[in-house]
């Protein structure tokens, strides 16, 4: 009886410690990124973060970028179907290419693979490319298009992810 109470206490204590230490890891990690609030909000929204090491946190961030980039692509495709102006259509088509072929088919998968293989330099490069592509898309629309906030969110998340990945180098 006594020993099982003791055991329960030990297990309870170590579980608490694990929780504390991973909450701290999110906090500590996010302090080293350019956008603490976005970083903490994004990581805490994913249950995997509570048990993740820094590589795991980087993977959660990259998955979030992937989801945002997919939403951006959907939005662009939606607009393409309703925009009559040929100039806008041409610009949008270009950014379908950028998000589909560059961000979603190249940058993100190569970053994920590199993180899993323990090659942070290569992962960082992929994520920086994604950020630059989102920025270029934003600039092309003069920062005032229906997809500005999509581009900016992809870019902001990428800067955070890049800073987290840099901690692994
Ligand atoms: C962009 O991020 C802001 C702040 O987190 C959020 O309120 C907004 O809904 C996001 N926009 C898109 C298109 O995801």
Separation CA 157–CA 169 (nearest Å): 19
Q: What does the pLDDT look like over 48-74, one tens digit per residue? A: 999 999 999 999 999 999 999 999 999
Note whether 165 and 148 are within 8 A (CB): no
Cα 65 to ligand 1 centroid, rounded to whole Å = 12
Q: Which domain holds residue 27?
A: 2-166
The number of distinct structural domains making up the chain is 1
Separation CA 98–CA 10 (nearest Å): 53
> The domain spanning residue 57 has which CATH number?
1.20.140.40
Q: What does the pLDDT look like over 67-98, one tens digit per residue? A: 999 999 999 999 999 989 898 888 899 999 99
Cα 2 to ligand 1 centroid, rounded to whole Å = 53
Note whether 94 and 169 are within 8 A (CB): no
> Global pTM?
0.84
Give the ligand 1 atom nearest the CA of 147.
Answer: 13
């Amino acid at each position: 009886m006594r020993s099982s109470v003791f055991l329960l206490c030990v297990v309870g204590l170590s579980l608490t410690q694990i929780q504390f230490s991973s909450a701290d890891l999110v906090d500590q990690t996010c302090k080293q990124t350019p956008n603490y609030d976005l970083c903490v909000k994004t990581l805490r929204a994913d249950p995997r973060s509570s048990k993740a090491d820094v590589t795991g946190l980087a993977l959660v961030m990259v998955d979030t970028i992937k989801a945002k980039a997919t939403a951006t692509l959907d939005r662009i495709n939606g607009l393409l179907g309703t925009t009559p102006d040929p100039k806008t259509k041409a610009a949008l088509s270009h950014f379908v290419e950028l998000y589909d072929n560059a961000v979603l088919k190249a940058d993100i998968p190569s970053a994920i693979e590199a993180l899993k293989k323990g090659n942070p330099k290569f992962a960082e490069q992929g994520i920086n490319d994604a950020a630059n592509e989102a920025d270029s898309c934003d600039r092309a629309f003069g920062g005032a298009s229906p997809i500005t906030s999509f581009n900016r969110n992809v870019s902001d998340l990428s800067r955070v992810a890049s800073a987290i990945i840099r901690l692994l180098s």
